[in-house]
Amino acid sequence: MLALPALLASCDILRENKMLITTHVQTDQVEHPSEIMQLPIGGQQLTFRKVPEFSQRSISGFEPFEAENNDGYGVVLQLDTKGRTALDLASRQYHGSTFLTMIHGMPIDMVEIDKPITDGRFIIWRGLSKQTIDEMDKFYPRIKYMKSASRLMDDMMPSTTTEKKNSRRDAKALEAAEKAAARNKERGILPKAPKTKDIPLEGYKLPGT
């Protein structure tokens, strides 16, 4: 009985997401002090809205890449339906403005929005550590392994907690299968040939052909 809570706590689906990722728009309008935050960036005191345009709650998946000039890592964030709508609206409303992304309250990257973002993909170009990427891997699937949450719409990203949980599970399974296949290929282990009864009547090709 005592071991059960520890076992459940170790389950991947019960991990608590402690990532804090927020994106804020820069503003030069006169607003109430409680609605803005001023940050020293690049030798200047810049003002941003406190309320983020989206946060980690709207992330469905991500894809990391090495940033230029050895400046850590960047990531492509795939937002869910709510985040996609918010980003689309913000990129139109604040066209030409600068967006600041913060991780755990620390400024990471700034980008100028020069066109509407309609696909729900937002890029953080630099500033993430390998540790942050590893932490994100605990909670979000890689975009390249993700599937649509709808059979009718190819670009419907998972939005509910259950959809995101299932998406991460399926993506991790696909990623594991791909890595296993790559390891087997390096070792010269060929995939097993299907049994006669399992071969489809049309369209079957031998592996490697």
Tokens 């700034």 belong to which residue? 110
Question: Could you tell me if residue 118 is inside a domain?
Answer: yes
Question: Could you tell me if residue 94 is inside a domain?
Answer: yes
Question: Could you tell me if residue 3 is inside a domain?
Answer: no
For 119, the domain range is 19-145
Nearest to 75 by CA among 3, 135, 10: 135
Question: Could you tell me if residue 50 is inside a domain?
Answer: yes
Residues in contact with 123: Cβ distance below 8 Å, sequence separation at least 6, in sequence order: 74, 75, 76, 77, 111
Question: Could you tell me if residue 88 is inside a domain?
Answer: yes
User: What is the reported pTM?
Assistant: 0.67
Question: Could you tell me if residue 52 is inside a domain?
Answer: yes
Question: Could you tell me if residue 121 is inside a domain?
Answer: yes
pLDDT per position in the chain (209 positions), as tens?
334 333 333 344 445 677 899 999 998 876 788 899 999 988 899 999 999 999 999 999 999 999 999 999 999 999 999 999 999 999 999 999 999 999 999 999 999 999 999 999 999 999 999 999 999 999 999 998 887 544 434 455 666 667 666 666 666 666 666 667 667 766 666 666 555 555 455 554 555 55
The CATH number linked to 62 is 3.30.1360.200
Tokens 């891997």 belong to which residue? 137
Question: Could you tell me if residue 62 is inside a domain?
Answer: yes
Between the alpha carbon of residue 48 and those of residues 53, 54, 56, 75, the distances in Å are: 11, 14, 18, 22
Phi, psi of 203, rounded to the nearest 5 degrees: 85, 0
How many distinct structural domains can be found in the chain? Answer: 1
Tell me the residue type at 177.
A
